[in-house]
Amino acid sequence: MSESTLRIGLVLPDVMGTYGDGGNALILRQRARMRGIDAEIVEITLDDEVPESLDVYTLGGAEDNAQRIATRHLQRYPGLQRAAEAGHPVLAICAAIQVLGHWYETSAGERVAGISMLDLTTSPREARAIGELVTTPLIDGLSQPLSGFENHRGATTLGPAAKPLARVRDGVGNGDGAGVEGAVQGSVISTYMHGPLLARNPELADHLLEKATGTALAPLDLPQVDRLRKERISAAR
């Protein structure tokens, strides 16, 4: 983190912002500020090179054509890849999982190369996965169920270098028959959960903030967030 300000990268919101996932950057900024940490969001659009020096990065969901545009931009300006290699946390949502993988196949059957930040591939499912999703996290630092809203047709298969983020309790998840959801590799966490994800999962938000700041954070007492979590987890059942 820079000496004075936590810099949160919102990557390509002009093409990867279809489902309101930019809200994840807002949650990171607000939870940092509530602890007295100065924080700002740096929007990285198609007009910008991708910097490698930000403290944490977020990417959102999109449709097929937008995914292609985003993939080309990230291949041309590999700052995100370099940031992840340096250990800066990256949160990738839905279509961003596919862009960060080795390749993804479009609904028309065309295979498109990704940027290979994640050891995974994605093929189309016959049926769309849509609805509430609840999972049990499988990574250190997370103990509470994760919840979100999935809306995708991807069947994502993990390679040996990528590990699942969570095991599915309710919903579809990665959709490849393994009963898991998302992918974690190095400093990258990816998931199919919208919501925005971090509004519904404050433990994960703080996990990313701790990685970004290198500091243990005291919990925030926000009863309204607890009520939201209970409501959405109950809705999945």
Among 103, 108, 96, 82, residue whose Cα is nearest residue 159: 103
> Is residue 207 flagged as an active site residue?
no
State the burial class of residue 156 (Cβ atoms within 10 Å of its Cβ: 0-12, 13-18, 19+): buried
* Strand 103-105 to 120-137 pairing: parallel
> Is residue 194 flagged as an active site residue?
yes
Which listed residue (73, 94, 152, 207) is catalytic? Answer: 94
Among 195, 18, 166, 14, residue whose Cα is nearest residue 95: 18
Which listed residue (73, 88, 152, 194) is catalytic? Answer: 194
Can you read off the two tokens belonging to residue 160?
A: 């040996």
128 is in an annotated binding site: yes
- Catalytic residue list: 94, 194
Binding residues for substrate: 128
- Which residues contribute to the annotated binding site? 128
